[in-house]
Structure formats: C-alpha cells, structure tokens
Amino acid sequence: MLEHLKDQPADKILALIAAFRDDPRKDKIDLGVGVYKDPTGLTPVMRAVKTAEYKLWQTQDTKTYTGLAGDPAFADAMIGLILKGAVARDRIAAVATPGGTGAIRQALELIRLAAPEATVWLSNPTWPNHPSIIKYLGMKSAEYRYFDEASRDVDFAGLMADLVGVRAGDVVLLHGCCHNPTGANLNAAQWAEVIALLKARGAVPLVDIAYQGFGDGLDADALATRAVAAGFDECLIAASCSKNFGVYRERTGLLMAVARDAKEQKTAQANLNFLNRQNYSFPPDHGARIVTMILTDPELRADWEAELEEVRLNMLTLRQSLAAELQRLTNSDRFGFVAQHRGMFSRIGATPAQVEQMRAEHGIYMVGDSRMNIAGLNAATVPILAQAIVASGA
C-alpha cells in the first residue's frame, strides 16, 4: 500500500525552520515562520500562562473527557474576547479546535457538509495553508485581488471589482486583522464597503482571526470581525490562541458559526460536534483551559493584556525603526509602508531571486514571496536587514 504514495511538497513556511536551523552561520537572522520572538530571540511562555499552568497543576483533579465541543467556558470566554456582545449568544455555535488551523479545517468541513458546491474566495495572496486545505478537501475556490505590489498597500479597487463576482451562497475568507502574508489591512471605511457588497451578493463570510492584539490592540483588532458578525445572518469565525497567548504547541483555537436564529444554531452546533467526533473526538483541553483561566480571572487577564501590549509595541517599534533606517539609506519614502503595515508580517516586495540573495549573502531567512516576520528582528539586526534589502535591489 505505502508504495503507492507520492512525495508531498514541503510546506514552504515550515521548510524554512529546518533550513535556518541547518545554517551554521552565527549571524543568521530568522524572519520566517510566524512565531513571536522577544529581543533576545526567545519565544517566551507568557507570565499569565505560567501562573495559570501552576494553578491548574495545583487544582486539577481529573483529566477525564470534556464535551465534544470542548469546555463551554472556553467558548464563552473566547466569544466574549472576540465578539464582545456583537451577536446574541444563542445564535453562536462554537467548538474548540486544535489551533487556528483546526478551526479553519473544521469551518471548511462544515461548509462542505452544508453547501458542497459553494466556492470559497481567498485573497491573493493569502496564508498558503488556506488553498492547500481547500484543495485537499476537493472544494472549489476563487481568488480576489488584495495587494498592490507597487504601493504595498491593499488593492482596494481590485478587491471590490473581483468580489462583485461572488454568487449567493459563496464563502469569502477574510483576514480579521493583521493580514498574513502582506501586513496590509483594510481601514474601517473599506471594511464597511466590503460588508455592504458581500451582503448584497448573498455571501457567507469566513473570518480568520489569528493575530488579535498584534495590530492596533485587542479591541481595535476585533472591530472588523464584530462588524461582520453583526452584519450578516450567517458567518463563520476561526480564531487562534497560538499567537496572542503564545501557546503555539498546545493547539488552542475556536470555531464559531453564527446562525440565523437559535433554532439553526442548535443544528449547527450538532454538526460541529459531529465533525469534531469524526476528526479527533474531543479537542485538546490544556491550552483552552489555560486561556479560560486567564480570561476569567481579572488579575491574570490584566497581566496577560499588559504583556500582549508589550509584544505589540515591540513589533511596532521594530517596524518604525526599520522604516526609518530604509528611509535613511534610500533617501526616499519607498519603504514607508513597513511602518503602516500591522501584525507580524510585511511583504517587503523583493523578488524570489532577491530573497534568495539575502539568504545566501547575509543569512537572512524570509518566505520566498518576501514575507518577513518583523518579530524576528531586534535593535541590532534592523540596520543589517535594511542594508541587505537595499543591496538586493528590492
């Protein structure tokens, strides 16, 4: 049997982890996978997470199964964090999932159950695992323009022109904040236009929100997702705790399905539970429990919010100093977009050959489409990267 298998293409983002690890150069710089690093290069366990884990160790007296949807307290806490009352609770079905990828996968499986013929629209570009999972599930997809290569900002005219092609019942995947891989985001007025257009087309939005708190703040980063949830009869929201709680390897995420009414919510919930059962039975609990403890304990929550804000401001400072250094070196505002982008990533606009050159000559690792993880920098490496970008001709 196994002899019939073909090799699978390596995931381009994950392949960078191994390539970086195997590079013997001491001064190499890792701007690849979307993992936060502090100025010393460490991905820390957040203070509130440590405290919650210690409390959990002291108080947890069983590890028996939770429910198929995970602990309902986790869903309540996350729905509060993300939607903050934007939609009546009895319209929201929710399941815990193994990370944000698990939420995306379960969302797509739910769509396939409910509407196998629906086309899923993706921004061009998007996180490469989106089209990969869709293809694997045998679903139809289409692209809408998103990024203007010249300004490195959102191609809003192109986006609106393409979304006019959405048919009733199609699903449109939107990044709630901190667009991955570009770092370019819609402003509030543009979100309102997108929502109005998609409503008129009869679309079902699927919001991927993986970086809440990494852009303009916890609340600001959720505003678009709240507007979507409040604006449509139905939508899906896939959330990740990997980044904003730093619990990457615990695999902690939530999928919400906002239904038309409480009756349809019940059926949606039963289908989400069914999908969990088919794929892995009960979702992982440890990370979800830690997140619940943090969100429901005022002291822990305040500490978590404070540390998350430090993380956000650190990335913002790095953006500003990289943009300033590039301005100094080029004597132009060509790279001003780096300071305007939000979240972990910016697509710098280098060609694959230029990305390769930066890796070969300077040991700088970024994704081939020139997506760089801003958090991989520190005060000492910002000027080195700026020099390398300019030298590459990008």
- The one catalytic residue in 243, 369, 375, 386 is 243
Nearer to ligand LMR, 210 or 224 (CB): 210
Closer to ligand LMR by Cβ: residue 240 or 265 = 240
End-to-end C-alpha distance for the chain, whole angstroms: 48
Q: Note the residues at the interface with ligand LMR (CB under 6 A).
A: 13, 33-34, 127, 180
**In terms of CB distance, is 269 or 283 closer to ligand LMR?**
283
Whether residue 208 lies in the annotated active site? yes
125 cis-preceded (ω within 30 degrees of 0): yes
Task: Please confirm, yes or no, whether 243 is among the known catalytic residues.
Answer: yes
User: Nearest 5°: CA angle at 91, between 270 and 174?
Assistant: 95
Q: Contact, 343 vs 178, CB < 8 A?
A: yes
Quick check: bond before 116 cis, omega within 30?
Answer: no
Min dist CB 126 to ligand LMR, Å, is 10
Rounded least distance, CB 13 to ligand LMR, Å: 4
What token pair was written down for 349?
């606009």
Instruction: Output 33 or 78, the one with its CB closest to ligand LMR.
Output: 33
Task: Write the CB contacts of 130 (distance below 8 Å, at least 6 apart in sequence).
Answer: 104, 122, 173, 208
DSSP 34: S
- Contact predicate 219/185, CB 8 Å: no
Pairwise CA distance, residues 290 & 266, whole Å: 27
Complex with ligand LMR: residue 91 or 175, whichever CB lies closer: 175
* Nearest distance, CB of residue 67 and ligand LMR, angstroms: 27
Active-site annotation holder among 155, 162, 170, 208: 208
- Residue nearer to ligand LMR on the CB measure, 34 or 253: 34
Cα distance between residue 357 and residue 351, in whole Å: 10
Which candidate in 127, 170, 222, 285 is catalytic? 127
CB-based contact 291:247 (threshold 8 Å) = yes
Comparing every residue's Cβ against ligand LMR, the nearest one is 34
β-pair partners for 120: 141, 171
Q: What is the β-pairing status of strands 119-124 and 140-145?
A: parallel
Is 50 a catalytic site residue? no
- Tell the smallest beta-carbon distance from residue 234 to ligand LMR (Å): 26
CB of 327 to ligand LMR, least distance (A): 27
CB 214 within 8 A of CB 315: yes
Residue 208: CB minimum distance to ligand LMR, A: 10
DSSP 215: S
Q: Write down the least CB distance from residue 33 to ligand LMR, Å.
A: 4
Render 278-296 in DSSP notation, one character per residue. HHTSSPP-HHHHHHHHHHH
Give kind and range of the element (H or E) at residue 236: strand 235-240
Interatomic CA distance for residues 12 and 321, integer angstroms: 28
The catalytic residue among 210, 229, 288, 339 is 210
Can you tell me whether residue 333 is helix, strand or coil? coil
Least distance from C-beta 269 to ligand LMR, angstroms?
27
Nearer to ligand LMR, 111 or 344 (CB): 344
d(CA 237, CA 103): 8
Q: Which is nearer to ligand LMR, 162 or 176 (CB)?
A: 176
The residues assigned a catalytic role are 127, 208, 210, 243
